[in-house]
Amino acid sequence: MAKQPEKAIKKYKKLFRKYRPLNQERIEEYETYIRVSDKYGKNFGGQKSLYRLIPLIAPYWRYKKEDPKFIKLYKKYGIDSLNMEQKVAQWESKHDKMLIDSFVIAFARDQYGGRLNNSDRTENDVKNAELLKWTFENHGFPSKQKIGLYYKDAFMPMSVLLLHMADYDEYHPYFKTKILEYIKSGDCSPRDYAAMVDRNNLHHKTPYTYGVYQGYQNITDSAKVDRNRKSIGLPSLKYRNKIAKDFSDSLKTK
């Protein structure tokens, strides 16, 4: 597909007509579709699609607004950076401020003391586990679309909290089951979920379920792992490695 961009554009177009775009990490499928379509002069929906992309990149706006190619693409279709700022501000205004406050505290708690003191770490992780359970039951998954990724100086990557939930067998079964609902709804990244499950596998010295971590020492049946990955929307191990390599190569050329 990489060598057949026009064929890729058609496939992406069909997908985005049928499914809500997510623009996931590394793949950035919706943004890639727009960029490639523009490059080859194909209709991707113009301003409508560009505005549709803004909420997806809004969590990373502090970096995206410094990307001249990204800003230039929008200007080409009559959308200036001020208008983009306004759309991001509208996106931020819809966030749950009380939930944000709770998770700003949770992330500070998560990193308290560099997680070096065992008793402090356990106490704080348990508090965060209870917060996550309460949030799931009352607000759903605290996704980037609900609380963002940054709030002032606070960085709130939900992947970190989920990863630490793998360390507690009294909570892990609940999260392993519950978060699958949010995989299906598109609120939780499949990779974040898979990393949590695989980390628990490591604790119990059992083979990886999803093979998120690099290396194959803990994979006994790659075909089974690929089936597990497919079931939550992750690419095969082989294709995962290709994506990782392509992503690494793209960073070298920036």
Over the stretch 114-162, which tens digit does the pLDDT of each residue have? 999 999 999 999 999 999 999 999 999 999 999 999 999 999 999 999 9
Judge whether 103 lies within some domain: no
Question: SS in 3 state form for 175-198?
Answer: HHHHHHHHHHHCCCCHHHHHHHHH
* E strands, 1-153, in order: 150-151
Specify the pLDDT at position 250: 61
pLDDT tens, 6-43? Answer: 888 888 888 888 888 876 666 688 999 999 999 999 99
pTM: 0.89
Q: How far is CA 110 from CA 81, 103, 157, 199, 236, in A?
A: 35, 10, 11, 17, 32
pLDDT band at residue 252 under the 50/70/90 scheme:
low
pLDDT band at residue 2 under the 50/70/90 scheme:
low
Q: Which two tokens stand for residue 239?
A: 């294709």
Q: How far is CA 224 from CA 208, 209, 221, 234, in A?
A: 10, 8, 5, 13
Cα separation of 197 and 193, whole Å? 6
Q: Which two tokens stand for residue 210?
A: 């999803």
Q: Which domain holds residue 17?
A: 5-93
Q: What 3-state DSSP class applies to 151?
A: strand
Pure H helices in 111-143: 118-139
Are 84 and 140 part of one and the same domain?
Answer: no
Total domain count for the chain?
2
Q: How far apart are the first and last CA of the chain?
A: 22
Consecutive H or E run containing 162: helix 158-165
Judge whether 114 lies within some domain: no
Are 237 and 123 part of one and the same domain?
Answer: yes
What number of CA atoms fall less than 13 Å from residue 25's CA on the CB side?
A: 14
Are 136 and 69 part of one and the same domain?
Answer: no
Are 46 and 168 part of one and the same domain?
Answer: no
Which residues partner with 151 through β-bridges? 154
Judge whether 187 lies within some domain: yes
Specify the pLDDT at position 3: 67
Judge whether 193 lies within some domain: yes
**Which residue is listed with tokens 């009352």?**
138
Which residues partner with 155 through β-bridges? 150
